[in-house]
Structure 1
Amino acid sequence: MRFARFLASPVGVGIVFFALAALTISFARFSGGVAMVWVAGAQLAGRLVAMPEERWGPWLVACGIASMLATGLFGLGWAASIPLAAINIVEASAAALVMRRISIAFWPAETLEWIAGFYIGIGLITPLASGAVATIVAHLTADVPILENFTHWIIGHSLGLITCLPVFRFVYGRWSRGRSCLPSVADRPFAILVLGLFALLTTIVFVLDMRALLVFPLLFVVVGAAVLDESMVAPMPVVLIAIGGALTALDMGPIALMDIAYGDRIQFFQLYVGITVLAGLPVACERSRRMAELRHMREQLARLGLQEPLVH
């Protein structure tokens, strides 16, 4: 857990933020403007969700510096680095605030309201607001087209938050409570089997060129969300991104063969992963609600059993 504590510290989060930002900026600026894929904001938001707002300062500063360096070294240049870093940090903070508010208000009793708040507040309003400001900044500092980059920003940041924020929230939430994000020792053989089957299925789907097969990883995630522990479901989007994204980037699989620009194919893959998460998230939330109700009922029965007088 010592390494986990370092990764959750301001320095560790800043290093991971820089690595994710530099990777996506270097890889996903297909049109020369803003990155069409963005997951660093979800990583920061996932860390912020796990602690009170008054403690956010060191993490915001560390990731602000990381964002500025990534944009200056690999992106639109140093002129845009400071304002874009501020926008990225505000966006991640807003997503974390929305997540904390809807969790306090609705979780776990009212999962439908929680999901609606997640979709609208984090997946729509936050990237729309940040994208409106960011594309103006990018246009003024780097003379990139406003409408095209606004579209790229919204898609990349919205899908990045929807796809990756639940994963980072789970990981940092476990670490903040001093727990491992891995399955229990007794469940690990079964978890390895499940994730191995999912990795094999994803590899087969993205090696072949049959688009209809794309439905099977989605169904696997949905069914898994209904019956598996969160520690087994959370890595599935990561496996899907790692295998499917790598094969798509190498021009393999059903998405890579689409007759559209390379950057659009990558964003279509990101959309596919986002839809997969959107399909599985309500099922996972409902399962969490029912498990919480079951635990509450067991606690109530245990208390009633202790209070019941002995019969002689």
Structure 2
Amino acid sequence: MTHPAMRIALYGALFFVVTSATIFWTRFAGGLALVWVGSALAAALFLTLPRVHHLGAFAILMGLSTAATALFGFGPAWALPLAVANIFEGWFIAWLLVRLRPQRDFIESEGGVASLGFWAGFVGPLPSAIVGGLMAVQIVGGTWLFHAFSWWVGHGLGTLLVLPLALLLQSYRREDFANMRDRARVLAFAGVVSLTALVSGFAFHQSAMPLLFLPIVPLVFASFRFRRFGAAIAVLVISVAAAFSLGMGTGVFAELAMPLWQKALFLQFYLATLLLIAFPMAVIIQQRQRILDELGDREAMQRLIADHSDDALLHLDSSGTIRFASPASTRLSGRGSVEQLHLAAFFSEFDRKKVDRALDKASRHPGRTEILERSVGRGGKTRWLEAKLRAVETSGRKVCGFVVTIRDITARKLEELEMTREARTDTLTGLPNRRAFLDILDRRLDVADQEPFGLAFVDLDHFKQVNDTHGHAIGDKVLSEVGAIMNGMASDTFFFARLGGEEFAIIVKRPLAEAAADICERLRLAIAKHPMADSDGKAFTVTASLGFAMISESCSASMALQAADAPLYLAKASGRNRTCRAQGFGRLTRGGAPIEQARIAVAG
């Protein structure tokens, strides 16, 4: 980008030449210039200058405009007022565009082009047209409305013709012209320009047929082939051909039954219409091409990621059939190819309904990612797969497919299971802890009516004396060895847990629930016979007291615990190292009514 002072100088020189030419050649009958592009040049300059330089640029352009009007227009008397109105118009157009379209995408989007046409070509010239009309009445006479309308139309159409091209040239950088080194492209561009000139010359310089529509053909071709630059140059070429025909008084314009100034205004309107047809179309084409390029880059990146990703990346149609699958799909699915198969091919045949439900849920909530986790058998081992699904919508808000990633989460699942196991396991004894015990108890109580079970409490006798006599390290060792005895007896039917301290619990499931008392006795004897040793190697033993109850009706956990706690209390009160059973427990009143008085049997 050039320095502001250099830019002002360049625009100033161009402004003076162009305004002098339009004043000299387009002032018919001594009135206002019918073609005025100075406002477009001034607006383009103000749009690219920092605000701190606006006042200086305004003063320089005003001086140049005054000189042009004094030399080629109305003379020195009215040169300065007209210059103020003209340069204010350019500044006002720039101010409107920046104020009302701060994103400055005047030649980048459909909305920007529409804003440029409305604010620069329609609204911007209105204030100066009012003032200019009043001054023209004083200079050449006539009516204010006629002069104001001529100013508004001439300045508005001139701005529409030149401002887009000026902004386009301003937006180009040196690297944007790199493709001009391509000889084939240069020759193609020259061919399009030549074709536009030939077609336009033929259309304007003959009067046998109304062919003003004919230049639209090369204009559209130029817009498609060379985007915005092609559209702007093609309109410029058409403008030169039309202006030459108008100046020579030949061709289609010679046949129009209207004064020359009206022909000039009609020509500007015609050219502005062509530009408003071609330029938005070129902008849209350029946007589409940019989107296609971005999609191509993104697709290439996605392909690269897909080829080197351990996750399966999938594209599905609306029915859930796989249309694209990355290389990792072969490993995760256990199949040679999954394309043209349903997503359920990655999972068990029994999971098809779950997969369909996940797809249906994703299609009903396109903005949300659905997650499906299932276990599968691969190579004789159990693996866990996680599928993340997201629906893809068309512009009409209709689901046209799905994007899916599938990942092997076996390691994570095993870690979760290990963490769950650790959270539910007593670290000292390796037995399930109180939390795990209560979970199992709640599940057993839910079906106690159909599947009675045995519940027992175990309490090591005089354990405090073990800690006081031998130390806590030996006490922990005793607990660990008692836990080892229980782990050795544990099975799918016998569930042992450490509740805390020296307290343990047993749940005996069917079909051996009736023999739970015998199991408790076996445990009591095993503990009593197991030799312990202190830190000096001296042997000692510990004993345990057990309380046991049969649970044959659903009840609360607290009621069941009370049922087993009562015989445990009796066992300890009767001399310890024995098993007591609550007799008659099982007829519980539902809703939390009290337990019937238990009959206690003592063994040991």
Q: TM-score w.r.t. structure 1 length? A: 0.86
Q: Which runs of 5+ in 1 are unaligned?
A: none
Residue 15 of structure 1 corresponds to which residue in structure 2?
A: 13
Residue 226 of structure 2 corresponds to which residue in structure 1?
A: 228
Q: Is the 8 A contact 1:8 1:172 kept in 2?
A: no
Q: Are 1:135 and 2:133 an aligned pair?
A: yes
**Shift in alpha-carbon separation, 1:98–1:305, aligned structure 2, 3 A:** farther
**Shift in alpha-carbon separation, 1:268–1:108, aligned structure 2, 3 A:** closer
Note the alpha carbon deviations across 1:92-126, whole angstroms, 9 max, x for none.
12222344456544738994432332222111111
Q: Distance in 1 between matches of 2:69 and 2:107?
A: 41
How far off its partner does 1:163 sit? 1.1
Please, which of 169, 174, 180 is the counterpart of residue 184 of structure 1? 180
Q: Distance in 2 between matches of 1:19 and 1:109?
A: 26
Give RMSD over aligned pairs. 3.1
Residue 287 of structure 2 corresponds to which residue in structure 1?
A: 289
- Secondary structure of 2:77's aligned partner: helix
How far off its partner does 1:127 sit? 1.2
Q: Which amino acid aligns with 2:261?
A: G
How far off its partner does 1:277 sit? 0.7
Q: Distance in 2 between matches of 1:300 and 1:109?
A: 25
Residue 272 of structure 1 corresponds to which residue in structure 2?
A: 270
Q: Which amino acid aligns with 2:27?
A: R
**Shift in alpha-carbon separation, 1:129–1:222, aligned structure 2, 3 A:** farther
Please, which of 35, 40, 43 is the counterpart of residue 42 of structure 1? 40
Q: Distance in 2 between matches of 1:55 and 1:301?
A: 45
**Shift in alpha-carbon separation, 1:211–1:249, aligned structure 2, 3 A:** farther
Q: Distance in 2 between matches of 1:94 and 1:294?
A: 37
Residue 88 of structure 1 corresponds to which residue in structure 2?
A: 86
Residue 542 of structure 2 corresponds to which residue in structure 1?
A: none
Q: Is the 8 A contact 1:98 1:118 kept in 2?
A: no
Q: Distance in 2 between matches of 1:179 and 1:70?
A: 36
Q: Distance in 1 between matches of 2:27 and 2:106?
A: 39
Q: Distance in 2 between matches of 1:67 and 1:41?
A: 11
**Shift in alpha-carbon separation, 1:251–1:89, aligned structure 2, 3 A:** same
How far off its partner does 1:132 sit? 0.6
- Secondary structure of 1:215's aligned partner: coil
Q: Distance in 1 between matches of 2:95 and 2:148?
A: 23
Q: Distance in 2 between matches of 1:199 and 1:255?
A: 17
**Shift in alpha-carbon separation, 1:183–1:7, aligned structure 2, 3 A:** farther
- Secondary structure of 1:31's aligned partner: helix
How far off its partner does 1:7 sit? 11
Residue 343 of structure 2 corresponds to which residue in structure 1?
A: none
Residue 56 of structure 1 corresponds to which residue in structure 2?
A: 54
- Secondary structure of 1:184's aligned partner: helix
Correspondence 1:1-312 to 2 at 5 A: 9-101=7-99, 104-105=102-103, 107=105, 111-140=109-138, 143=141, 145-174=143-172, 177-178=173-174, 184-186=180-182, 187-210=185-208, 212-298=210-296, 300-301=298-299, 310-311=308-309
Q: Distance in 1 between matches of 2:36 and 2:192?
A: 28
How far off its partner does 1:209 sit? 0.9
Q: Distance in 2 between matches of 1:202 and 1:5?
A: 39
**Shift in alpha-carbon separation, 1:110–1:14, aligned structure 2, 3 A:** closer
- Secondary structure of 1:195's aligned partner: helix
Moved more, 149-158 or 211-220: 211-220
Q: Distance in 2 between matches of 1:108 and 1:138?
A: 32
Q: Which amino acid aligns with 1:155?
A: V
Q: Which amino acid aligns with 1:67?
A: S
**Shift in alpha-carbon separation, 1:229–1:142, aligned structure 2, 3 A:** same
Q: Is the 8 A contact 1:222 1:280 kept in 2?
A: yes
Q: Distance in 2 between matches of 1:143 and 1:235?
A: 38
Q: Which amino acid aligns with 1:254?
A: V
User: Which is greater in Rg?
Assistant: 2
Moved more, 83-92 or 154-163: 83-92
The alignment-based identity, stated in percent, is: 24
Q: Which has the higher contact order (CA 8 A, sep 6+)?
A: 1
Q: Distance in 1 between matches of 2:106 and 2:42?
A: 23
- The structure where helix makes up a greater share of residues is 1
Q: Distance in 2 between matches of 1:6 and 1:104?
A: 21
- Secondary structure of 1:260's aligned partner: coil
**Shift in alpha-carbon separation, 1:57–1:208, aligned structure 2, 3 A:** same
Q: Distance in 1 between matches of 2:295 and 2:209?
A: 45
Q: Distance in 2 between matches of 1:181 and 1:140?
A: 49
Q: TM-score w.r.t. structure 2 length? A: 0.47
- Secondary structure of 2:213's aligned partner: helix
Note the alpha carbon deviations across 1:238-264, whole angstroms, 9 max, x for none.
211222201211101102321111121
Q: Which runs of 5+ in 2 are unaligned?
A: 311-604
Moved more, 45-54 or 82-91: 45-54
- The structure where strand makes up a greater share of residues is 2
